[in-house]
Structure 1
Amino acid sequence: MLLLLLACLPLYYLAKPFMSHNPVPRFFLAGIGAIAGMRLQTRGEKVHRGAFLLANHVSWLDIPALAATTGSAFVGHDGLAAMPLLKWLCKMNDTVFVARHDRKSVARQVEDVRTAIRDTGALTIFPEGTTSDGTGLLPFKSSLLSALEPLPDGIAVQPVLLHFGPEAADIAWVGEEHGVDNFLRLLARRRPIELTVHFLPVLSGAELASRKTIAQAARDAMLARLSG
């Protein structure tokens, strides 16, 4: 993984002046997933431009998976921005940092999200706000969807279900497990990590009336696919 990073860095800075959304982070994250033993399958039709993706959150592998399949940037909490190295890596992939506790900055954060969608073509948020055990869904926090109220023109809201199958609970990063411990535990697996990315139908009509209806409709669609 370190060698991959070292190989990608010069390519990233060479490409940076010539495009608004640099493709090198997508290549890097896809490589991280492959090195970790992740085998990806996709189901459904994904939106190719102007997509705001709502995905469930199970593992740190969710980010390499979505980057590999969509080229998406991500919405992250501002705690990540307090770690200089991690912030540097996240910003390379156009991560939008949100401060949930800072009401005064909501307008700026909304504009950051809308700009990121225009520049990158796809932006992913994890509306559960944290990771689940992969066997179900946590409640969705509609407050994280403020940028979609009102819905900007030309933006498609698409639920995405990340399904690790029967081994989801073993792969999930939950409870008191330290992030480094989870990272090393998954790398030590001898079996590949099977992940199916389900692109569910784009929300429409009354489902887009407000951030609350968006959150509920997306969660309902994911639960229906998870139980099916």
Structure 2
Amino acid sequence: MTGNLRLGLRLAALASALMGALLIHGLWRLFRIPSPWPRRFLGLVARIVGARVRVIGTPLRRDVVLLANHLSWIDILAIAGATGSAFVAKGELRGVPLVGWLCTLNHTLFVSREDRLQVTAQIARLRDAIGGGRPVTIFPEGTTGDGRTLLPFKAALLAALDPPPPGVRVQPVRIDYGAATADLAWVGEEPGQHHALRVLRRRGTFPVTLHLLAPFDPVETGNRKAIAAAARSAIVAAA
């Protein structure tokens, strides 16, 4: 099968999955029932693009911030499907056709690092989301890496945990693509659409292992710099 044929089949499968998920999601919303379908749809998208997700460890389901290393947009699909987590994303993603709307369905929190006037309000919204029950995932590297070297964690991205909302735990997550890491890591200046097309044309499947590491109490750990250091150390130790 050629790469372009695989691309066409996967795009068709994604379109069918989207239409089906939106229909069922709409029915759940019509009856005012909390809908699991954004999470299930993202998990299905991960499978369609070739990911075979394996979870090691037990994810906390509420009152938790997941701090994960970051390799690709596939990370979001895998974590959302496995945990039901919402995410913190760059503000410009909101304006991307379809993608931005799908992000809002999964309760994505959009932040803008350039808009310093809104920093306080953004931190307050993030604290509310963290204390709202569902998991929230932050990628504290602030960008994607090559999967071999863990970048420094930016403590500024953890401002909502300094101090943390009452009862919230932090759970580090190590994402591992195994032998497919070099193919799938999104690094350098490669445009997002080029990376996505490359993944969709790729032959076969690939593993995505989510190592859900031991959660810790951020209050006992210290300020956001100490939290970032503790989470990073746990992910490094799990490699």
Contact 1:207 1:213 in 2 (8 A): no
1:48 maps to which of 61, 77, 86: 61
Gaps of 5+ in 2: 1-13
Alignment of 1:204-223 (within 5 A): 204=217, 208-223=221-236
Q: Which residue of 1 aligns with 2:157?
A: 144
Shift of 1:75: 0.4
Judged with a 3 Å threshold, the aligned counterparts in structure 2 of structure 1 residues 128 and 207 are, in CA distance, closer, same or farther, namely farther
Runs of 4+ with deviation above 3 angstroms: 204-207
The number of residues matched between the two structures is 225
1:74 and 2:74 matched: no
TM-score (norm 2): 0.88
Tell me, in whole angstroms, the C-alpha distance in 2 between the residues paired with 1:223 and 1:169. 19
Gaps of 5+ in 1: none
Contact 1:159 1:222 in 2 (8 A): yes
TM-score (norm 1): 0.92
1:62 and 2:84 matched: no
**Which stretch of the first structure deviates more once superposed, 84-93 or 197-206?**
197-206
Aligned-residue RMSD, C-alpha: 1.7
Considering only CA atoms, is the larger Rg found in Structure 1 or Structure 2?
2
SS in 1 for 2:55: strand
Identity %: 45
Tell me, in whole angstroms, the C-alpha distance in 2 between the residues paired with 1:162 and 1:202. 16
SS in 2 for 1:104: helix
2:202 maps to which of 189, 199, 204: 189
Judged with a 3 Å threshold, the aligned counterparts in structure 2 of structure 1 residues 156 and 83 are, in CA distance, closer, same or farther, namely same
**Which stretch of the first structure deviates more once superposed, 202-211 or 5-14?**
202-211
Contact 2:169 2:218 in 1 (8 A): no
Contact 1:22 1:93 in 2 (8 A): no
